[in-house]
Structure 1
Amino acid sequence: MAKELAKQYDPQSTEDRIYQDWCDKGYFHTQIDRSKKPFTIVMPPPNVTGQLHMGHAMDETWQDILIRYKRMQGYAALWVPGTDHASIATEAKVVAAMQEEGLTKEMVGRDGFLERAWAWKEKYGNRIVSQLKKLGCSCDWERERFTMDEGCSDAVKDVFVRLYDKGLIYRGNRMVNWCPHCNTSISDAEVEYEEKDGSFWHLLYQVKETGEMLELATTRPETMLGDTAVAINTEDPRYAHLHGCHVILPLLNKEIPIVCDEHADMEKGTGVVKITPAHDPNDFEVGKRHNLPMIRVLTYDGHMTGAADKAAADALKASGRAAADEPDVLDCGKYAGMTAMEARKAILADLEAGGYLKSTEPLKHEVGTCYRCHTVIEPMVSKQWFVKMEPLAKPAIEAVEKGDIKFVPERFTKNYLNWMYGTRDWCISRQLWWGHQIPAWYCADCGETIVAKEAPKTCPHCGSTNLTQDPDTLDTWFSSALWPFSTLGWPKETEDLQYFYPTNTLVTGYDIIGFWVSRMIFSGLAYTGKAPFDTVLIHGIVRDSQGRKMSKSLGNGIDPLEVIAQYGADALRMMLVVGSTAGNDMRYSEERVKACRNFANKLWNASRFVQMNLPEDFVPGLPDVSLLDMSDKWVLTQLNTTARDATANLDKYEMGLAADKIESFIWEVYCDWYIEICKARLNSGDEQQADTARKVLVYVLSQALKLLHPFMPFVTEAIYQSLPGSAETIMTEQWPAFDAEHNWPEEEADFAKLMDYIKAVRAVRNDMNVHPAKKTSMVIETADAEAFRKGEVYLARFAFATDVTLTDRYEGSTSGMVQVNTTSARGFIPMMELIDRDKELARLNKELAKTEKELAMFENQLSNPKFVEKAPAKLVEDVRAKLAAAKDKQANIRQSIETLG
């Protein structure tokens, strides 16, 4: 016999022990098995600087549910874990630590800095991994990867060289998001938008040819020094006479052209916009269309450019080494060296003094800030490395449009396609030291650029050895875009890659569909010829109990580890899935966590009851069908239904529905009813009946534990190992399938009618405060007499009946009778001497109101032509059946009210 369960379930002492046992025995490790079908998930790699938050907890819980489910279905289920090197975040951590020592990056040099960064990673980088283990993640930790490990780094260099050789990677001056504090370009995903108070400053630019003043508005007046045009719309009749004219740029007294461009919206403001190609993404595109000069007026550390900046730029151009698209740099004169905010105040004061500031309009607007340091982002033209996206995006669009890759929910397909159709060339270089250094070398003697996986010894163009590697590193997303296949050994043709790739389901949030999902899709297609996964399962975010996004500024974050310490990982996991739906946000609720903890305790106590009623010589297994009674067939059929429906839900990624059905079966069917039903049989003195009850109790419990295991792995493992005949672990047991041999839908339907009636009787007695010891006879009017005849023993025990009379039409006296109504029966119970007539009337009227509300709902549904025409036929028929049953119940209640006068 297996070990006895403790009196109370203690997740704190149980979960760590069980998880360590799983790891020690290698249950998470997945071998290549050609007799099995593979199912692969790659974990979206959390940052090595990260700490487990509720978003991680939801993301990993959903993945773990899928991997445990598929493992139990017999797949070679592989969940590849790993972490991302997180360039900006990690570098910021190391720089901050160095500052405490009075050191800077430049003081220790690149090699010294990287040595410190690797040491930091070794010391702190596994924190997030240990936290994932607390959650119960059944990853194959033997295959854990890191975006900068040797294999992944080799993949990064391989891809860079391939793309460069194909002309799909280039270096040039283009618009980027620039953080003046971190001194690097950052991706769109690393820009956080914050609502800030600002202003629209309405400026006046004089037209050279006519002398009239053109009004335009800006939120960034400090960039006006870099204006190289103003734009009007070709179709705007207000400015038709200004085509080909010029304006005089205030403060600089400089002539710039008026250009006609669709960017000038006739419906917005005055329809005139200033064009600053070096400092605005839209203006940059206008500048390209009209071949406008680009003039940079801000330094990379956020100050206005001065004479030295201009001289350096001019010298570069004079040397012949400047690219054709290199922007000019302005000497901002009196504003040189000021921060952007200081220059803004000074420029506005000068504009006002010169009569060029017409008005100021306050506004609240979204301002881009760096996600790491929260500095306001400056859109800047900068020389960076870019990937040409158009040729890579096309097959990635086709793969989704053809259905090779599906989004769940399907509505997120539109998000993906909108991103891909609107994608711009991708800036992949970062001015950081921690990361994959760009594999490009520059010859100081001839200016040649050499791109190679390994450092060249000489310049292939001139033979010089005076070569310097590009100091920049690659965008973190560049390496994570390769994650589904680089983690499996690509570019080498490993056995893992051949067997486990393409992967199956990617689980992630909707906020990185463009930044990461899209890049994995085009990368997989471009470099392996295969889509990296077949399904993208999108989850929402976990909000606080008020529906607000969790953030440090609000102080409303919930630490999953604290929840686990208090209530257990199972309770947190179950809370994160019950009631959740793919693609939708959910609210964290401590009350729901407590309810899930209570469910675990309920299951534990029920399992202890079963275990305590098993003799030493108990042999598990279902008894012969001939020995099963009505309740056994009912619970086994309910189990079948739950297994079938939960499987269908999981196959459609409806984890919340599956969890809800499994929990309802365990709590309501098994614990609340079947165990109670079995108690009389266990104590009846009939050993055969007692043994039958024990066998069904254990069998149903073991199957229910398997269904629940992917959701609540710890408590199910602990209980399962206590059952007689159990395997070494529940996680490799077979997922319960529909069992046609033990399925009795007609018996189940009969028992359901009986249970509905018993529940109704108990509810009436409870409302009337009738003590269970007070039993009465009853007459049951029903067209399903056989169901009630077979269940008289249950009526006696659970409906407190001394004797039962069955009839298809009751015509006796109703005086002194309390009536109980269900959709299939009406009971007449002589309890009037035990109750208050007025209270009974009030109860019946309340029940009538509830029934009539249901009636109205069903009638409204069926009176809606769209519902009747478009809803599935079975659903329409179900509603019609519910309407008919509700009408019968309404008639029965009204008759009961009339009887009481």
Structure 2
Amino acid sequence: MTETHLQEPAQETLAKTFEPAAIEAKWYPHWESTGAFRPARPDAVPFTIVNPPPNVTGSLHIGHALDNTLQDVVIRYERLRGKDALWVVGTDHAGIATQMVVERQMEARQDKRTNYTREGFIDKVWEWKAESGGTITRQLRRLGCSMDWSREQFTMDPHFTRAVVKVFVDLFNRGLIYRDKRLVNWDPRLKTAISDLEVETHEIKGGFWRFRYPLADGVTRADGLDYIEVATTRPETMLADMAVAVHPDDARYHSVIGAFIEQPLTGRRIPVVADLHADPELGSGAVKITPGHDFNDFEVGKRAGIKAADMFNMFDAEAQVVQTADGLVPEQFLGQDRFAARAMVVAAMKEAGFLVPHIDKDGVEHDFEPRTIQTPFGDRGGVVIEPWLTDQWYVDAAALASAPIAAVRSGAIEIVPKTWEKTFFNWMENIQPWCVSRQLWWGHRIPAWYDADGRAYVAEDEAAAQAQAGEGVALTRDEDVLDTWFSSALWPFATLGWPDEADLVKRHYPNDLLISGFDILFFWDARMAMQGLEFMGQVPWRRLYLHGLVRAADGQKMSKSKGNVVDPLGLIDQYGADALRFFMCAMESQGRDVKMDERRVEGYRNFATKLWNAARFCQANGIGGSTTLAAPAASHAVNRWIIGEVVETLATLDQAMADLRFDAAANAVYQFAWGSFCDWYIEFIKGNFDDETRTVAGWVLDQILVMLHPFMPFVTEELWHALGSRDTDLILAQWPQPGAGVDAAAKAEVEWLIALVSGFRTARNELGLSPGAKLEAWLPEPSAATRAIIDANGGAIDRLARLSAIHFAPAPAGAAMQVGAGDATLIVPLEGLIDIAAEQARLEKALAAAQKEAKALEGRLNNASFVERAKPEAVDKARADHAHHTAEAARLAAALARLG
């Protein structure tokens, strides 16, 4: 041993109690102020990730805690491995959400947006951001996220806005953005279009109304009827009906295809058309077609030759009835809310004799058949979405999707877990045009200007648009803004300064990894892949890791209405950020959701406390931090063994991180730190602190702190400095490089001792023997290797197994317990130590009870009816109880066997 292997412990003794709050408050500001999060290794290999930008209106929820913990583990790990690590951080301007927040504040002051000019309202939004928009970034700091705050981004920053405008203009010039009249999901509360991905489907109690539509011009069907019966869940839309569709092979309607119907309320003549959309097995087999207010009807209308520009629109932006282009909507319906209009339409059709009543099972007549309807709601506005025909801007998503599809197929983008590839391909191969315009004031305004004839001029600024239109042509700016996801799709390269900062883009694009929830695979991930490949010619990131949701302990999805939402900041206050972070990693198993379990979080707080106490023990015994990366020389078996354990743990940890198996990585370092080091190594070396052991113990503790740092950054940084005077903070230290192997002989020797001690402790517990009682064991004819281990470790065996002697001879006759270790079986006579008959009776009774419970539970679990019909949490509990009683029975049987 040389003096350079070991430092003297720091002068300041560690506090007796581990208190995470003070440590967290101390280290995060230090890291940030010293630039520890900024990439500053120009000669190193870059490693880049970007955070899914949270809404500027947001606050940290448990999903953010999972997502950002996983990212921080990766970035800290790569930083320790010597990479020039950049974690890009920023927030999204969140068009709808932010405008809603500001408008609500205005309403509270009896004010409203329309009291201001557009520019005046936008100024109000910027004021709000300056005062209240930094909540979530402060909370990310509390979680310990080592993001490069010096380059914090915002999707409305001037440089980002330039990138957004350039992408829009370039896509337009390439024919990939166009303006079209199509149906959109319209939110009547927010008065804007929203995407399919922002629509939530709820089950609502509704009805199925049936009506008779009379055939015009004296035409009758083959069966002599002069009407066609149609059914609908939205009677109000008949005010804009333009056709009735029947299946071309439905014999009931062959004779009337091409004939006309006179719609009873409007008097509008509408054709009967043949279309495969009509299902002969559903209802009457005839479907009323309102192409301006239903997505399926829109497609039927187009196939019937109705141009989008000619489709009737019967609602205004607030979903109130307006006059259609043909002027045939009766006056009494005009101005009515859509649901009030529904009741009026039904009443009018009933009064005119065109309503077909529903007869229930008791023979009672009703206006409609009760149905549970899958109804679309806006995820922000919270009202029923209306399919609405309007002019909007669209991206040719199908054209942009081909390159990401090819990238995933070729492996240029690796999706982890791989099971998500099928979902990705299915969505991308069936992708629809992407509506990117929103009827808001807050956001990136669409760079398009119109002349008096409605001709659009798309350009990066008004001067360029004017140049296109010609001198003297009056232009009007498009009022709409872009979908928030349009701008966030540029996140991997626009955050690096594209198109201006070429050097930074060149160094950090493509990003190495993206971590996101599976729920934004299409909102964000797929769109980044589209724009990155289109504008950069390369994938935006080489790997895409999709994690699950954090669910309540019973497996249910968290929601405010259920009252089962968990506040991560409350958990940090109670247990510390390190404990919450470690829980997230330990529970993050690929392809599975994380079930919230506060007891596990508390358990990882206990883990941090155990490490703290181990460091205090080392400090008190003259063990300090190491000054060498390489493992120190060692002659004692226990020291050679623990060095080998470091080597094996490091290999397991590195492989788990390479595979993005966060649970396996966390488990590897946990088992080593708690089990190998704290529970065994420290016990073995107590009372034997020679220079070699102090040096090895200090080096091993350093390796634990470095390997654990990505998961638990705060406690590890504190202990790192407490164990000695360091040249650098732990966050910027070097990843372990033991330069050693596994000593097989030392490993076998120590594992034999561990098996022996564990076996005796278990046996004492099972048989009710005092833990401190000294025992004698007999071991006839031990192998040479076993005898050598016993001879070399007599003191440890006496101290830890409480064996005062091991006799290499046959055991005396009588009841005895047996304990195995390696190839040896040690026998301990029990005469005089316990009442053997009473203990045997106790164990037999307990064994019978455990076997009975296990058998009963096995019967329940083998009952298909129970497994299929019971609540999932009840089935899970039955399985857990069965496993518990089965294990208990095995333990008791082993205890009985020991008595033999």
Give the TM-score taking structure 1 as reference length: 0.87
CA distance in 2, matches of 1:137, 1:171: 42
Distance verdict in 2 for CA 1:546–1:257, change over 3 Å: same
Picking from 303, 308, 317, the partner of 1:300 is 317
Gaps of 5+ in 2: 1-8, 359-367, 855-889
3-state SS of paired residue (1:695): helix
CA contact (8 A) 1:222 1:347 kept: yes
CA distance in 2, matches of 1:795, 1:541: 48
CA contact (8 A) 2:623 2:695 kept: no
Distance verdict in 2 for CA 1:74–1:840, change over 3 Å: farther
Q: Which amino acid aligns with 2:615?
A: S
Partner residue in 2 for 1:492: 500
Displacement of 1:170: 1.2
3-state SS of paired residue (2:200): strand
Distance verdict in 2 for CA 1:472–1:782, change over 3 Å: farther
1:15 matches 2:24:
yes
Q: Which amino acid aligns with 1:796?
A: D
1:421-820 equivalent positions in 2, closer than 5 A = 421-444=429-452, 447-456=454-463, 458=466, 460-464=468-472, 466-614=474-622, 625=633, 627-682=634-689, 690-724=690-724, 726-737=726-737, 739=738, 741-780=740-779, 786-787=785-786, 789-791=788-790, 792-793=793-794, 794-806=796-808, 812-820=811-819
CA distance in 1, matches of 2:292, 2:195: 18
Q: Which amino acid aligns with 1:564?
A: I
Q: Which amino acid aligns with 1:276?
A: T
1:250 matches 2:258:
no
Picking from 387, 390, 393, the partner of 2:395 is 387
Displacement of 1:850: 11
1:310-459 equivalent positions in 2, closer than 5 A = 310=324, 331-353=329-351, 354-359=353-358, 360-444=368-452, 447-456=454-463, 458=466
Count of aligned pairs between the two proteins: 831
CA distance in 2, matches of 1:843, 1:783: 34
Distance verdict in 2 for CA 1:623–1:462, change over 3 Å: closer
Displacement of 1:633: 2.3
Displacement of 1:332: 4.5
CA contact (8 A) 1:779 1:804 kept: yes
1:6 matches 2:4:
no
CA contact (8 A) 2:38 2:85 kept: no
CA contact (8 A) 1:232 1:260 kept: yes
Displacement of 1:779: 1.8
Root-mean-square deviation (Å): 2.8
CA contact (8 A) 1:247 1:255 kept: yes
1:54 matches 2:68:
no
Give the TM-score taking structure 2 as reference length: 0.87
Displacement of 1:410: 0.7
CA contact (8 A) 1:622 1:696 kept: no
CA distance in 1, matches of 2:103, 2:441: 11
Deviations 1:189-233 (A, max 9, x none): 322222322222233334453235444432211112222122223
CA contact (8 A) 1:623 1:695 kept: no
Distance verdict in 2 for CA 1:392–1:12, change over 3 Å: same
Moved more, 660-669 or 725-734: 725-734
Moved more, 744-753 or 154-163: 744-753
3-state SS of paired residue (1:363): strand
Partner residue in 2 for 1:884: none
CA distance in 2, matches of 1:429, 1:605: 59
Partner residue in 1 for 2:124: 116
Q: Which amino acid aligns with 1:340?
A: R
Distance verdict in 2 for CA 1:635–1:335, change over 3 Å: same
CA contact (8 A) 2:257 2:274 kept: yes
Distance verdict in 2 for CA 1:803–1:622, change over 3 Å: farther
Displacement of 1:114: 0.9
Distance verdict in 2 for CA 1:217–1:637, change over 3 Å: farther
Partner residue in 2 for 1:262: 276
3-state SS of paired residue (2:722): coil
Q: Which amino acid aligns with 2:49?
A: I
3-state SS of paired residue (1:508): strand
Partner residue in 1 for 2:77: 69
Distance verdict in 2 for CA 1:663–1:300, change over 3 Å: same
Q: Which amino acid aligns with 1:29?
A: R
Q: Which amino acid aligns with 2:243?
A: A
Distance verdict in 2 for CA 1:267–1:597, change over 3 Å: farther
Moved more, 787-796 or 429-438: 787-796
Displacement of 1:471: 1.0
Deviations 1:273-307 (A, max 9, x none): 2221111112112212222351111111111114x
CA distance in 2, matches of 1:603, 1:96: 49
Distance verdict in 2 for CA 1:806–1:240, change over 3 Å: farther
CA contact (8 A) 2:213 2:354 kept: no
CA contact (8 A) 2:631 2:643 kept: no
1:197-212 equivalent positions in 2, closer than 5 A = 197-208=205-216, 209=219, 210=221, 211-212=225-226
3-state SS of paired residue (2:26): helix
Displacement of 1:549: 1.7
Deviations 1:151-192 (A, max 9, x none): 110011101111111121111211111111111111223222
3-state SS of paired residue (1:790): helix
1:288 matches 2:305:
no
Displacement of 1:759: 0.6
Q: Which amino acid aligns with 2:88?
A: V
Distance verdict in 2 for CA 1:727–1:348, change over 3 Å: farther
Distance verdict in 2 for CA 1:842–1:246, change over 3 Å: farther
Distance verdict in 2 for CA 1:633–1:51, change over 3 Å: same
CA distance in 1, matches of 2:92, 2:422: 28
Q: Which amino acid aligns with 1:253?
A: G
Distance verdict in 2 for CA 1:806–1:144, change over 3 Å: farther
Partner residue in 2 for 1:161: 169
Moved more, 62-71 or 581-590: 581-590
Partner residue in 2 for 1:862: none
Identity percentage of aligned residues: 40
Moved more, 53-62 or 35-44: 35-44
Displacement of 1:497: 0.1
Displacement of 1:239: 4.0
CA distance in 1, matches of 2:628, 2:79: 24
Deviations 1:497-524 (A, max 9, x none): 0000000111111111112111110100
Partner residue in 2 for 1:26: 35
